[in-house]
Amino acid sequence: MNISEIIKSNFEENNKVNQECIVDVITDVENALDIIINMLNNGGKLLTCGNGGSSGDAQHIASEFINRFELERQPLPAISLNSDTATLTSIANDYAYEEVFAKQIQAIGKKEDVLMAFTTSGNSENITKAIYEATSKHIPTILITGNDGGKAKDYVEENGCTIIIPSKRTSRIQEMHLIIIHAICECLDQYIKNKN
């Protein structure tokens, strides 16, 4: 396959997964939005986490909450559990990398909060431990994942939701995660505008 064909195939594959998501994940994103609106109305904050590219997604949505998305509005409470390198490295060094998010949730998580966890495979040990810790504190989890949801989907309880991108390819999954982030933020902009 030459360079032009590779580039074209990326766009074509993105379009295919995008179309499948329109059928498969709209209701799940709506459920996630309901959970977030309930969190905001109850004075909670969004806690986000992920590894690698998923850590970028976690930081991305936290920044859209705290700064703004497209409309001027009050900042929304969110913390990316990926962003404090001193905390991350101390936990990883003194305990284990599997604990880097769970210990932060243990320290700052409240039942009014929501955990939004990104993992393309659904099998990251630190994500499953984070969801387990959130559940123990009665914090709902929004799991945004791909493939078949992996082990992580089994840890999400009824008060949370799971959004599974119908793809096995990490790049396509991450592209859909970004669309979900922007869709949630746009819906929140509209909700806040209508509320005011």
pLDDT band per the 50, 70, 90 thresholds, residue 20: very high
Cα separation of 172 and 120, whole Å? 10
Query: How many other β-carbons are positioned within 10 Å of the β-carbon of residue 26?
Result: 12
The CATH classification number of 3-195 equals 3.40.50.10490
Cα separation of 139 and 160, whole Å? 8
pLDDT for position 89: 97
Long-range contacts, stretch 177-180, CB < 8 angstroms, 24+ apart: 177/54, 177/57, 177/118, 177/120, 177/144, 178/57, 178/60, 179/18, 179/21, 180/25, 180/29, 180/32, 180/144
pLDDT band per the 50, 70, 90 thresholds, residue 196: confident
Cα separation of 127 and 49, whole Å? 8
pLDDT band per the 50, 70, 90 thresholds, residue 168: very high
Q: What is the pLDDT of residues 26-37, one digit of tens each?
A: 999 999 999 999
